[in-house]
Amino acid sequence: MTDRDAVPFDLASMRKQYRAEGLSESDLAASPVEQFARWFAQAATEGGMFEPNAMVVSTADAEGRPSSRTVLLKHFDEQGFVFYTNYGSRKARDLAENPHVSLLFPWHPMARQVIVSGVARRTARDETAAYFRTRPHGSRLGAWASAQSAVIAGRAELDAAYAELAARYPEGEQVPVPPHWGGFRVVPHAVEFWQGRENRLHDRLRYVAQPDGSWRVERLSP
Ligand SMILES: Cc1cc2nc3c(=O)[nH]c(=O)nc-3n(C[C@H](O)[C@H](O)[C@H](O)COP(=O)(O)O)c2cc1C
């Protein structure tokens, strides 16, 4: 294999010119959650994105070793941003040791990204149960079948676990909420709204939480 085969695209020359329309301080909503709601509505309706609620969740363990993965945002309001996962997974183990977390929404087709930094706490059991009941039957069984992030012998092990659960809980049967599964709510401390602009002179406006509960907005150099 030659170097050319290894990198079939000329990555160094792949670049797009971003839009002229920007984001100014006077456009911003009073709170970052309100601003997020505006951008999310645009991403979901005009963004041409497959899953606008897909976000990259980055955690770090007690030694500061980082890891990232994609997760679906399932709820947001002034209390924070909620996602669901397995409490035995790597991300959940990281968050138990170090609750600081970063969420990144990569809305590339709109030349936008939103970056939330904050602290994650487990959602209450009743909130988790209410969401679990909205999941399709197969996904509920999947939450039981998977010891997320554990090394397994092969695919067959997973399929066998699922088949056993499907026999125990046929379609229409109530599936209990797995004790090892639930939500995290990320309470934002800072939220950056990034809008790509021409000539790489992007707009970056960041809300930073103040001790009195208000938000300060600062502009960052692109
Ligand atoms: C589009 C997409 C959405 C995903 N949504 C979730 C999710 O909501 N919850 C989840 O636990 N994993 C989700 N995953 C899988 C995670 O990326 C990851 O593989 C899993 O959570 C284990 O991560 P960890 O071992 O770092 O904890 C999703 C993956 C993709 C690509």
Share of the chain above pLDDT 70, in %: 97
Ligand 1, atom 29, lies closest to the CA of 70
Q: Which atom of ligand 1 is nearest to the CA of 93?
A: 27
C-alpha 40/C-alpha 76 separation (Å) is: 11
Pairing of strands 112-122, 181-195: antiparallel
Model confidence at 58, pLDDT cuts 50, 70, 90, reads: very high
Choice among 44-48, 145-149, 154-158, 169-173 with the minimum mean pLDDT: 44-48
Q: Which two tokens stand for residue 111?
A: 């030349």
Q: Looking at residue 4, what is its pLDDT?
A: 56
Model confidence at 172, pLDDT cuts 50, 70, 90, reads: very high
The torsion defined by the Cα of 165, 171, 173 and 179, in degrees rounded to 10, comes to: 40
Beta carbon of 72 within 6 Å of any ligand 1 atom: yes
- Tell me how far CA of residue 4 lies from CA of 8, 11, 118, 131, 157, in angstroms: 6, 12, 42, 49, 40
C-alpha 33/C-alpha 4 separation (Å) is: 46
pLDDT at residue 21 is higher than 90: no
Q: Looking at residue 5, what is its pLDDT?
A: 63
Beta carbon of 87 within 6 Å of any ligand 1 atom: no
Q: Looking at residue 83, what is its pLDDT?
A: 98
pLDDT at residue 65 is higher than 80: yes
Q: Looking at residue 20, what is its pLDDT?
A: 59
Active site (catalytic) residues = 200
Beta carbon of 91 within 6 Å of any ligand 1 atom: yes
pTM of the predicted protein model:
0.94
> Domain 21-135+178-219's class?
mainly beta
Q: Looking at residue 10, what is its pLDDT?
A: 87
Q: How many CB atoms are closer than 10 A to CB 2?
A: 6
Q: Which atom of ligand 1 is nearest to the CA of 89?
A: 27
Choice among 39-48, 83-92, 116-125 with the minimum mean pLDDT: 39-48
| DSSP string for residues in 165-198 | HHHHS-TTS--PPPTTEEEEEEEEEEEEEEE--G
pLDDT at residue 6 is higher than 80: no
Beta carbon of 146 within 6 Å of any ligand 1 atom: no
Sketch the domain layout of the chain as residue ranges.
21-135+178-219
| DSSP string for residues in the chain | --HHHH--S-GGG---PPPS----GGG--SSHHHHHHHHHHHHHHTS--S-TTEEEEEEE-TT--EEEEEEE--EEETTEEEEEEETTSHHHHHHHH--EEEEEEEEGGGTEEEEEEEEEEEPPHHHHHHHHTTS-HHHHHHHHH--TT---S-HHHHHHHHHHHHHHS-TTS--PPPTTEEEEEEEEEEEEEEE--GGG--EEEEEEE-TTS-EEEEE---
Contacts (Cβ under 8 Å, ≥6 apart) of 122: 87, 182, 183, 184, 185
Model confidence at 12, pLDDT cuts 50, 70, 90, reads: confident
Across all residues in the chain, what is the average pLDDT? 94
Give distance in angstroms: CA of 170 to centre of ligand 1: 26
Higher pLDDT, 9 or 33: 33
